[in-house]
Structure 1
Amino acid sequence: MNTASVDPELAALRGELIERAAADQRARAELGSVALTPEQWETVHRVDEDNVRWFAPIVAVHGWPGRRSVGVDGAHAAWVLAQHAPAPYRACWLPKLRAAVANRDAAPRDLAFLADRVAIDQQRPQRYGTQWLRLGAEAAGRLYPLHRPAEVNLARADVGLDPLPDSAIEAAYSSFAEITAATRGGSR
Protein backbone atom coordinates (compact mmCIF):
# COMPACT_ATOMS: atom_id res chain seq x y z
CA MET A 1 0.00 0.00 0.00
CA ASN A 2 1.41 3.38 -1.02
CA THR A 3 1.06 5.44 2.15
CA ALA A 4 2.08 8.70 0.45
CA SER A 5 -1.34 9.06 -1.18
CA VAL A 6 -3.45 7.50 1.57
CA ASP A 7 -6.14 9.42 3.41
CA PRO A 8 -4.94 9.83 7.04
CA GLU A 9 -8.25 8.45 8.37
CA LEU A 10 -7.88 5.35 6.23
CA ALA A 11 -4.26 4.96 7.34
CA ALA A 12 -5.43 5.11 10.95
CA LEU A 13 -8.17 2.55 10.22
CA ARG A 14 -5.63 0.24 8.57
CA GLY A 15 -3.31 0.55 11.58
CA GLU A 16 -6.12 -0.14 14.05
CA LEU A 17 -7.29 -3.18 12.07
CA ILE A 18 -3.77 -4.60 12.03
CA GLU A 19 -3.24 -3.93 15.75
CA ARG A 20 -6.56 -5.54 16.68
CA ALA A 21 -5.93 -8.60 14.51
CA ALA A 22 -2.50 -8.98 16.14
CA ALA A 23 -4.10 -8.81 19.61
CA ASP A 24 -6.63 -11.43 18.48
CA GLN A 25 -3.86 -13.76 17.37
CA ARG A 26 -1.76 -13.19 20.50
CA ALA A 27 -4.71 -14.04 22.75
CA ARG A 28 -5.29 -17.28 20.87
CA ALA A 29 -1.59 -18.19 20.76
CA GLU A 30 -1.40 -17.91 24.55
CA LEU A 31 -4.04 -20.62 24.94
CA GLY A 32 -1.76 -23.45 23.92
CA SER A 33 -3.10 -26.70 22.52
CA VAL A 34 -4.16 -28.77 25.51
CA ALA A 35 -7.73 -29.13 26.76
CA LEU A 36 -8.87 -25.67 27.79
CA THR A 37 -11.14 -24.50 30.55
CA PRO A 38 -13.77 -21.77 30.12
CA GLU A 39 -11.60 -19.47 32.26
CA GLN A 40 -8.73 -19.78 29.78
CA TRP A 41 -11.03 -18.56 27.00
CA GLU A 42 -12.00 -15.46 29.00
CA THR A 43 -9.17 -13.31 27.62
CA VAL A 44 -9.96 -14.38 24.07
CA HIS A 45 -13.63 -13.55 24.55
CA ARG A 46 -12.79 -10.11 25.96
CA VAL A 47 -10.58 -9.35 22.93
CA ASP A 48 -13.30 -10.59 20.56
CA GLU A 49 -16.02 -8.53 22.28
CA ASP A 50 -13.90 -5.38 22.18
CA ASN A 51 -13.12 -5.96 18.50
CA VAL A 52 -16.79 -6.45 17.61
CA ARG A 53 -17.81 -3.29 19.47
CA TRP A 54 -15.24 -1.37 17.46
CA PHE A 55 -15.60 -3.14 14.07
CA ALA A 56 -19.39 -3.53 13.71
CA PRO A 57 -20.13 0.21 13.36
CA ILE A 58 -17.34 0.59 10.80
CA VAL A 59 -18.78 -2.14 8.59
CA ALA A 60 -22.35 -0.86 9.10
CA VAL A 61 -21.47 2.69 8.07
CA HIS A 62 -18.66 2.24 5.55
CA GLY A 63 -19.05 -1.32 4.28
CA TRP A 64 -16.30 -3.91 4.13
CA PRO A 65 -12.81 -2.42 4.59
CA GLY A 66 -11.21 -3.67 1.40
CA ARG A 67 -7.76 -3.63 -0.16
CA ARG A 68 -8.30 -0.30 -1.93
CA SER A 69 -9.10 1.50 1.31
CA VAL A 70 -6.94 -0.26 3.93
CA GLY A 71 -4.41 -2.27 1.91
CA VAL A 72 -4.00 -6.01 1.60
CA ASP A 73 -2.86 -6.42 5.21
CA GLY A 74 -5.68 -4.21 6.55
CA ALA A 75 -8.30 -6.13 4.55
CA HIS A 76 -6.93 -9.43 5.84
CA ALA A 77 -6.96 -8.05 9.39
CA ALA A 78 -10.64 -7.15 8.90
CA TRP A 79 -11.29 -10.79 7.99
CA VAL A 80 -9.51 -11.97 11.18
CA LEU A 81 -11.86 -9.81 13.26
CA ALA A 82 -14.90 -11.08 11.35
CA GLN A 83 -13.84 -14.72 11.60
CA HIS A 84 -13.75 -14.50 15.40
CA ALA A 85 -16.90 -12.42 15.87
CA PRO A 86 -20.14 -14.00 17.14
CA ALA A 87 -22.13 -16.00 14.57
CA PRO A 88 -24.82 -13.33 13.87
CA TYR A 89 -22.15 -10.80 12.92
CA ARG A 90 -20.34 -13.29 10.69
CA ALA A 91 -23.58 -14.06 8.85
CA CYS A 92 -24.30 -10.35 8.42
CA TRP A 93 -20.80 -9.56 7.17
CA LEU A 94 -20.47 -12.52 4.79
CA PRO A 95 -22.39 -10.84 1.92
CA LYS A 96 -20.28 -7.69 2.37
CA LEU A 97 -17.06 -9.69 2.12
CA ARG A 98 -18.51 -11.63 -0.84
CA ALA A 99 -19.20 -8.32 -2.64
CA ALA A 100 -15.68 -7.09 -1.86
CA VAL A 101 -14.22 -10.28 -3.35
CA ALA A 102 -16.43 -9.90 -6.44
CA ASN A 103 -15.00 -6.37 -6.80
CA ARG A 104 -11.46 -7.70 -6.34
CA ASP A 105 -11.21 -5.73 -3.12
CA ALA A 106 -10.69 -8.70 -0.76
CA ALA A 107 -9.05 -12.12 -0.88
CA PRO A 108 -11.09 -15.13 -2.08
CA ARG A 109 -9.23 -17.23 0.49
CA ASP A 110 -10.60 -15.08 3.31
CA LEU A 111 -14.09 -15.44 1.87
CA ALA A 112 -13.72 -19.24 1.79
CA PHE A 113 -12.89 -19.36 5.50
CA LEU A 114 -15.72 -17.02 6.49
CA ALA A 115 -18.23 -18.80 4.23
CA ASP A 116 -17.32 -22.15 5.79
CA ARG A 117 -17.52 -20.71 9.31
CA VAL A 118 -21.01 -19.31 8.62
CA ALA A 119 -22.10 -22.62 7.11
CA ILE A 120 -20.96 -24.42 10.26
CA ASP A 121 -22.71 -21.83 12.45
CA GLN A 122 -25.91 -22.66 10.58
CA GLN A 123 -25.26 -26.41 10.70
CA ARG A 124 -24.81 -26.65 6.94
CA PRO A 125 -21.95 -28.54 5.27
CA GLN A 126 -18.89 -26.48 4.39
CA ARG A 127 -17.66 -26.06 0.82
CA TYR A 128 -13.92 -25.45 1.23
CA GLY A 129 -12.99 -27.72 4.14
CA THR A 130 -11.48 -24.98 6.29
CA GLN A 131 -13.25 -25.80 9.57
CA TRP A 132 -12.12 -28.63 11.84
CA LEU A 133 -13.49 -29.97 15.11
CA ARG A 134 -11.41 -31.65 17.76
CA LEU A 135 -13.37 -33.68 20.28
CA GLY A 136 -11.78 -35.13 23.37
CA ALA A 137 -8.44 -36.76 22.79
CA GLU A 138 -8.45 -36.50 18.99
CA ALA A 139 -5.03 -35.09 18.14
CA ALA A 140 -5.72 -33.36 14.83
CA GLY A 141 -9.49 -33.33 14.81
CA ARG A 142 -11.80 -33.99 11.90
CA LEU A 143 -13.35 -31.77 9.30
CA TYR A 144 -16.88 -30.59 9.86
CA PRO A 145 -19.27 -32.05 7.24
CA LEU A 146 -18.42 -31.24 3.63
CA HIS A 147 -20.93 -30.09 1.02
CA ARG A 148 -19.44 -32.11 -1.84
CA PRO A 149 -16.48 -34.09 -0.56
CA ALA A 150 -15.37 -35.14 -4.06
CA GLU A 151 -15.16 -31.46 -5.11
CA VAL A 152 -13.64 -29.89 -2.00
CA ASN A 153 -10.11 -29.74 -3.43
CA LEU A 154 -11.38 -28.14 -6.64
CA ALA A 155 -13.13 -25.48 -4.58
CA ARG A 156 -9.97 -24.96 -2.54
CA ALA A 157 -7.85 -24.61 -5.69
CA ASP A 158 -10.25 -21.94 -7.00
CA VAL A 159 -9.45 -19.73 -3.98
CA GLY A 160 -5.74 -20.53 -3.68
CA LEU A 161 -5.86 -23.04 -0.82
CA ASP A 162 -3.70 -26.14 -0.76
CA PRO A 163 -5.49 -29.46 -1.30
CA LEU A 164 -6.59 -31.56 1.64
CA PRO A 165 -5.32 -35.12 1.93
CA ASP A 166 -7.84 -37.73 0.83
CA SER A 167 -7.63 -39.25 4.31
CA ALA A 168 -8.87 -35.98 5.89
CA ILE A 169 -11.76 -35.75 3.44
CA GLU A 170 -12.74 -39.37 4.03
CA ALA A 171 -12.58 -38.90 7.82
CA ALA A 172 -14.80 -35.77 7.79
CA TYR A 173 -17.92 -35.92 9.90
CA SER A 174 -20.80 -37.05 7.71
CA SER A 175 -23.41 -34.88 9.42
CA PHE A 176 -24.09 -32.61 12.35
CA ALA A 177 -26.10 -35.46 13.87
CA GLU A 178 -22.87 -37.47 14.01
CA ILE A 179 -21.16 -34.58 15.83
CA THR A 180 -24.06 -34.30 18.27
CA ALA A 181 -23.92 -38.04 18.96
CA ALA A 182 -20.15 -37.84 19.51
CA THR A 183 -20.47 -34.93 21.95
CA ARG A 184 -23.24 -36.64 23.89
CA GLY A 185 -21.04 -39.69 24.19
CA GLY A 186 -18.78 -37.78 26.57
CA SER A 187 -16.05 -36.97 24.04
CA ARG A 188 -16.26 -33.26 24.54
Structure 2
Amino acid sequence: MIDAAGYPTIEKVVKEANQATWLIIQGSIGQPEFMKKCAKELEIAVNQNKADAKNLAYLLDRIAVLEDKPQLYGTQFDWNENGILSPNKFDNIIKVNQRRKSIGLNTLEQQTNIIRKRVQD
Protein backbone atom coordinates (compact mmCIF):
# COMPACT_ATOMS: atom_id res chain seq x y z
CA MET A 1 0.00 0.00 0.00
CA ILE A 2 2.79 2.44 0.90
CA ASP A 3 4.58 1.61 -2.36
CA ALA A 4 1.44 2.38 -4.33
CA ALA A 5 0.06 5.41 -2.51
CA GLY A 6 2.82 6.75 -0.28
CA TYR A 7 2.55 7.17 3.46
CA PRO A 8 -1.08 6.99 4.65
CA THR A 9 -1.41 10.56 5.89
CA ILE A 10 -4.42 11.72 7.89
CA GLU A 11 -5.81 13.39 4.76
CA LYS A 12 -5.61 10.06 2.86
CA VAL A 13 -7.03 7.92 5.67
CA VAL A 14 -8.75 8.68 8.96
CA LYS A 15 -6.63 9.67 11.97
CA GLU A 16 -7.06 6.27 13.61
CA ALA A 17 -5.83 4.42 10.50
CA ASN A 18 -2.87 6.78 10.25
CA GLN A 19 -1.93 6.03 13.87
CA ALA A 20 -2.48 2.29 13.41
CA THR A 21 -0.16 2.31 10.40
CA TRP A 22 2.53 4.03 12.43
CA LEU A 23 2.15 1.47 15.24
CA ILE A 24 2.57 -1.38 12.77
CA ILE A 25 5.68 0.23 11.29
CA GLN A 26 7.09 1.00 14.76
CA GLY A 27 6.65 -2.64 15.74
CA SER A 28 8.23 -4.06 12.58
CA ILE A 29 11.64 -4.55 14.19
CA GLY A 30 12.18 -7.76 12.24
CA GLN A 31 11.96 -5.79 8.98
CA PRO A 32 14.47 -2.95 9.29
CA GLU A 33 14.50 -2.12 5.57
CA PHE A 34 10.73 -1.70 5.65
CA MET A 35 11.05 0.59 8.68
CA LYS A 36 13.68 2.71 6.93
CA LYS A 37 11.60 2.98 3.76
CA CYS A 38 8.58 4.02 5.80
CA ALA A 39 10.67 6.57 7.71
CA LYS A 40 11.57 8.22 4.39
CA GLU A 41 7.92 8.33 3.36
CA LEU A 42 6.88 9.61 6.79
CA GLU A 43 9.54 12.32 6.63
CA ILE A 44 8.11 13.55 3.35
CA ALA A 45 4.64 13.65 4.90
CA VAL A 46 5.94 15.50 7.97
CA ASN A 47 7.71 18.07 5.78
CA GLN A 48 4.38 18.63 4.01
CA ASN A 49 2.60 19.02 7.39
CA LYS A 50 0.55 15.90 6.64
CA ALA A 51 1.85 13.70 9.46
CA ASP A 52 2.94 14.02 13.07
CA ALA A 53 6.62 14.86 13.59
CA LYS A 54 6.52 13.00 16.91
CA ASN A 55 5.79 9.75 15.07
CA LEU A 56 8.80 10.35 12.85
CA ALA A 57 10.98 11.04 15.91
CA TYR A 58 9.94 7.78 17.56
CA LEU A 59 10.49 5.82 14.34
CA LEU A 60 13.92 7.34 13.66
CA ASP A 61 14.99 6.61 17.23
CA ARG A 62 13.69 3.03 17.03
CA ILE A 63 15.72 2.48 13.87
CA ALA A 64 18.80 4.05 15.48
CA VAL A 65 18.54 1.77 18.52
CA LEU A 66 18.14 -1.29 16.33
CA GLU A 67 21.28 -0.25 14.43
CA ASP A 68 23.15 0.48 17.69
CA LYS A 69 23.40 4.16 16.79
CA PRO A 70 22.66 7.18 18.99
CA GLN A 71 19.09 8.43 19.13
CA LEU A 72 18.21 11.93 17.95
CA TYR A 73 15.19 12.47 20.21
CA GLY A 74 15.73 10.08 23.13
CA THR A 75 12.38 8.34 22.78
CA GLN A 76 13.57 4.77 23.29
CA PHE A 77 14.25 3.40 26.77
CA ASP A 78 15.58 0.15 28.16
CA TRP A 79 16.82 -1.23 31.46
CA ASN A 80 20.49 -0.42 32.04
CA GLU A 81 23.11 -2.64 33.69
CA ASN A 82 22.00 -1.37 37.13
CA GLY A 83 18.36 -2.29 36.52
CA ILE A 84 17.27 1.32 36.00
CA LEU A 85 15.02 2.25 33.10
CA SER A 86 17.03 4.77 31.07
CA PRO A 87 17.11 6.24 27.58
CA ASN A 88 19.07 4.23 25.07
CA LYS A 89 22.21 6.03 23.96
CA PHE A 90 21.72 9.42 22.36
CA ASP A 91 24.04 11.92 20.74
CA ASN A 92 24.03 15.08 22.91
CA ILE A 93 21.58 16.04 25.67
CA ILE A 94 21.42 19.70 24.62
CA LYS A 95 20.72 18.82 20.98
CA VAL A 96 18.27 16.08 21.99
CA ASN A 97 16.31 18.53 24.13
CA GLN A 98 16.33 21.14 21.35
CA ARG A 99 14.97 18.57 18.89
CA ARG A 100 12.38 17.38 21.41
CA LYS A 101 11.21 20.93 22.07
CA SER A 102 10.95 21.66 18.34
CA ILE A 103 8.28 18.95 17.96
CA GLY A 104 6.46 19.59 21.22
CA LEU A 105 8.04 16.98 23.50
CA ASN A 106 9.20 17.69 27.04
CA THR A 107 12.88 17.47 27.97
CA LEU A 108 14.56 14.10 28.10
CA GLU A 109 15.13 14.56 31.82
CA GLN A 110 11.42 15.19 32.39
CA GLN A 111 10.45 12.21 30.23
CA THR A 112 12.91 9.96 32.03
CA ASN A 113 11.36 10.91 35.37
CA ILE A 114 7.85 10.27 34.03
CA ILE A 115 8.75 6.86 32.62
CA ARG A 116 10.61 5.78 35.75
CA LYS A 117 7.66 6.82 37.90
CA ARG A 118 5.25 4.83 35.70
CA VAL A 119 7.19 1.61 36.15
CA GLN A 120 7.38 2.12 39.91
CA ASP A 121 3.60 2.56 40.29
TM-score (norm 2): 0.80
1:78 aligns with 2:21: yes
Aligned equivalents of 2:11 and 2:2: distance in 1? 15
What does residue 59 of structure 2 align with?
114
Q: Give the secondary structure class of the aligned counterpart of 2:12.
A: helix
What does residue 104 of structure 1 align with?
49
1:150 aligns with 2:94: yes
Aligned equivalents of 1:146 and 1:136: distance in 2? 17
What does residue 141 of structure 1 align with?
85
Aligned equivalents of 2:63 and 2:91: distance in 1? 13
Structure 1 counterpart of 2:4, which letter? V
What does residue 115 of structure 2 align with?
none
Aligned equivalents of 1:137 and 1:81: distance in 2? 31
Partner of residue 68 from structure 2, selected from 119, 123, 128: 123
Aligned length: 111
Displacement of 1:164 after TM fit?
Answer: 2.0
Unaligned runs of 5+ in 1: 1-57, 169-188
TM-score (norm 1): 0.54
Higher share of residues assigned helix = 1
Structure 1 counterpart of 2:107, which letter? P
Aligned equivalents of 1:136 and 1:163: distance in 2? 23
Partner of residue 92 from structure 1, selected from 2, 24, 37: 37
Q: Give the secondary structure class of the aligned counterpart of 2:46.
A: helix
